[in-house]
Amino acid sequence: MKTKLLLSVTAALMLAATTLSADSINPKELKAIENADVPIHSYYGFDNPHYKISKKDLAYYKSIGLLPEHQILNKAVKKHSQKLAEAPQEVLQALDLTVDAMSALEKGKTKAATVSLEAATKLFDTTLKNNPKLKFVPVDVDVTVIEHGISLTQAEKIKKEALRLLQQDRTQDALDLLMLLRNQLSIDTSYLPMELYPVATRTALEALHQHKGAKTALAILLKGVDTIVHTQIVVPIPLLIAQEAIETAQKLAQKDDTKALKLLQVAKEQLALAHIEGYLPASADAYKSLTGELDKLMSKVKGGNAQKADYEKSRTGCSALVDHVAKEEAAALAHPQMIEGDPHAKAKVEEANDKELFKAKIDKEAFQKEVEKDLKDTVK
Look up the CATH number of the domain holding residue 305. Answer: 1.20.120
Same domain, 332 and 250: yes
- Dist CA 253 CA 316 (whole Å): 16
- Within this chain, do residues 276 and 138 fall inside the same structural domain, yes or no? no
Q: What is the separation of C-alpha 144 from the centre of its chain, rounded to a whole number of angstroms?
A: 7
Q: Is residue 1 part of a domain?
A: no
The count of domains in the chain is 3
Cα(261)–Cα(269) distance, integer angstroms = 12
Residue 207 and residue 322 in one domain: no
Does the pLDDT value for residue 49 go beyond 50? no
Q: Assign 119 a pLDDT band (cuts: 50, 70, 90).
A: very high
Mean of pLDDT values over 264-269 = 93
pLDDT at 118 over 80: yes
Greater model confidence, 311 or 30 = 311
Looking at the structure, tell me whether residues 193 and 44 fall in a common domain.
Answer: yes
> What band does 164 get if pLDDT is binned at 50, 70 and 90?
very high
Indicate whether 48 and 114 sit together in one domain: yes
Tens of pLDDT along 272-309? 998 888 887 655 677 788 888 899 999 998 888 888 78
Mean pLDDT of 5-29: 32
| Domain housing 105 | 37-147+182-227+350-380
Q: Are residues 188 and 172 in the same domain?
A: no
User: What confidence category does residue 129 fall into, taking pLDDT thresholds of 50, 70 and 90?
Assistant: very high
Chain-centroid distance, C-alpha 99: 25
Continuous H helices in 34-109: 55-63, 69-80, 82-85, 89-106
- Residue 265 and residue 259: Cα distance in Å, rounded? 10
Does residue 125 lie in a domain region? yes
User: What is d(CA 357, CA 271) in angstroms, rounded to the nearest whole number?
Assistant: 37
List the end-to-end C-alpha distance of the chain, in Å, as a whole number. Answer: 39
Query: Are both 156 and 290 inside the same structural domain?
Result: no
pLDDT of residue 43: 30
Residue 285 domain-assigned? yes
Q: What per-residue confidence (pLDDT) applies to 342? A: 42
Q: State if pTM tops 0.85.
A: no
Whole-number pLDDT of residue 294: 92
pLDDT at position 150 is 79
Residue 192 shares a structural domain with residue 52: yes
CB distance 241 to 69 below 8 Å: yes
State residue 216's pLDDT score.
92
Quick one: pLDDT at residue 141? Answer: 80
Statement to judge: residues 63 and 118 lie in one domain: yes
Tell me: do 251 and 380 sit in the same domain: no
Q: What is the DSSP letter of 136?
A: E
Q: Which residue has the higher pLDDT, 32 or 138?
A: 138
AA letter at 123: L
Kindly report the average pLDDT of the chain as a whole number. Answer: 75
Q: Which residue, 97, 92, 51, 91, is CA-closest to 237?
A: 51
Q: What is the arithmetic mean of pLDDT over 196-216?
A: 92
Q: Given a cut of 50, is residue 109 above it in pLDDT?
A: yes
Q: What is the mean pLDDT of residues 215-233?
A: 88
- Domain assignment of residue 9, yes or no: no
Q: pLDDT tens digits, residue range 71-105?
A: 887 887 777 667 666 788 899 999 999 999 999 99
Q: What is the DSSP letter of 344?
A: T
Domain presence at residue 210? yes
Residue 30: inside a domain, yes or no?
A: no
- What phi and psi values does residue 282 have, to the nearest 5 degrees? -60, -25
Are 65 and 164 in the same domain? no
pLDDT for position 31: 45
In a domain, 2, yes or no: no
Q: Kindly state whether residues 123 and 140 are assigned to the same domain.
A: yes
Judge whether 84 lies within some domain. yes
